[in-house]
């Protein structure tokens, strides 16, 4: 009960406080509220117009951001591929360096030593002789006892100087010299081809003379063999029998120009031959009396004979 009383007291206090502190109205006239609503509507409309104006730049900005993002991703992908290619090239170069180092060590440890101290020393001496000969013919005598490397360097410098001097020559002289060299090469090639052709002709002539001087080969006679009899020609196959219909068979049996016996022999009937002959005799006797047509008589006779069982 105490709890219920306390709750009732709280409600009473709230109602008293609400009645004593009645709120004061800001608006004194209804038109003021309408003006506020109109101002709010105008502000909302202005906000909507401003938002609509900002929509197109925002969409363009978003499209630009997406394009820039795609472009940056593409560039990053390209850079990653380039980095991967460079890493592969670096790895290949490193492996190549290792291989070359091993190869150089093999050359220095085996090949170069063999050239200097082994069987290749003769080649080294021959190379020095050739280099010294070229140096003495092109530059000067080797009175200062230069090494092979120094003489080769001197020859290289002399060749470079000659090439530079050739570059400074007049083009007419160069063309004339080229034409002269070309003519000499052509004459040499022509002489070589003529000599080769004459050599081939000489070889052919020698071969023919050897063949002419050789003794003739012995002639051997083959044993004569008589020819056998030719096979007899094959006879053509007989023509197939003519297929006749039943009407055609009856017509040939009854109306063809043949004897009565042949007609009876050609007639296919289940009547025995004795009965057929008996019918034939009767038909001949009746024929002498009636003097009817032969074809009709034979037909009636045969039909009468075939009806006999």
The string of pLDDT tens digits covering residues 95-145 is 999 999 988 888 877 766 666 665 555 666 777 888 888 898 888 888 888
Q: Which of 40-54, 171-185, 287-301 is least confident? A: 287-301
What pLDDT band is residue 290 in, cutting at 50, 70 and 90?
very low
| Confidence at residue 246, expressed as pLDDT on a 0 to 100 scale | 84
Higher per-residue confidence, 199 vs 47: 199
- Between 143 and 195, name the one with better pLDDT: 195
Q: What is the pTM for the complete model shown?
A: 0.26
pLDDT of residue 303: 43
**Residue 197 pLDDT more than 90?**
yes
Instruction: Give residue 24's pLDDT band: very low, low, confident or very high (50, 70, 90).
Output: low
End-to-end alpha-carbon separation of the chain, Å?
145
Residue 85 predicted with pLDDT over 90: yes
| Mean local confidence (pLDDT), 282-297 | 47
Angle between helical axes of 148-167 and 121-138 (0-180°, round to 10)? 40
Average pLDDT over residues 278-293: 49
CA 307 to chain centre: 87
| Residue-by-residue DSSP string for the chain | -HHHHHHHHHHHHHHHHHHHSPPPPS-SSHHHHHHHHHHHHHHHHHHHHHHHHHHHHHHHHHHHHHHHHHHHHHHHHHHHHHHHHHHHHHHHHHHHHHHHHHHHHHIIIIIHHHHHHSTTHHHHHHHHHHHHHHHHHHT----S---HHHHHHHHHHHHHHHHHHHHTS-HHHHHHHHHHHHHHHHHHHHHHHHHHHHHHHHHHHHHHHHHHHSPPPPP-PPPP-PPPPPPPPPPPPPPPPPP--HHHHHHHHHHSSS-HHHHHHH---SS-HHHHHHHHHHHHHHHHHH---HHHHHHHHHHHHHH--
pLDDT at 258: 52
């Amino acid at each position: 009960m105490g709890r219920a009383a306390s709750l009732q007291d709280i409600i009473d206090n709230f109602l008293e406080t609400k009645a004593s502190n009645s709120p004061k109205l800001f608006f004194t006239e209804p038109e003021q509220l309408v003006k506020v609503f109109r101002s709010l509507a105008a502000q909302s409309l202005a906000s909507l117009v401003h938002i609509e104006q900002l929509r197109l730049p925002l969409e363009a900005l978003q499209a630009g951001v997406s394009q820039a993002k795609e472009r940056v991703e593409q560039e990053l992908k390209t850079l990653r591929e380039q980095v991967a290619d460079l890493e592969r090239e670096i790895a290949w170069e490193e492996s190549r360096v290792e291989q070359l180092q091993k190869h150089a060590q093999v050359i220095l440890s085996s090949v170069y030593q063999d050239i200097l101290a082994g069987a290749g020393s003769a080649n080294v001496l021959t190379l020095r002789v050739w280099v010294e000969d070229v140096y003495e013919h092109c530059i000067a005598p080797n009175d200062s006892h230069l090494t092979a490397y120094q003489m080769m360097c001197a020859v290289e410098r002399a060749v470079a100087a000659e090439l530079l001097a050739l570059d400074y020559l007049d083009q007419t002289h160069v063309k004339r010299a080229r034409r002269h060299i070309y003519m000499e090469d052509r004459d040499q090639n022509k002489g070589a081809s003529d000599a080769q052709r004459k050599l081939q002709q000489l070889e052919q002539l020698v071969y023919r003379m050897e063949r002419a001087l050789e003794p003739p080969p012995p002639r051997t006679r083959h044993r004569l063999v008589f020819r056998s009899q030719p096979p007899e020609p094959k006879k053509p196959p007989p023509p197939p029998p003519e297929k006749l219909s039943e009407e055609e068979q009856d017509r040939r049996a009854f109306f063809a120009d043949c004897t009565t016996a042949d007609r009876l022999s050609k007639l296919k009937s289940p009547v025995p031959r004795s009965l057929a002959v008996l019918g034939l005799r009767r038909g001949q006797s009746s024929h002498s009396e009636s003097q009817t047509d032969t074809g009709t008589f034979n037909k009636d006779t045969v039909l009468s004979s075939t009806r006999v069982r």
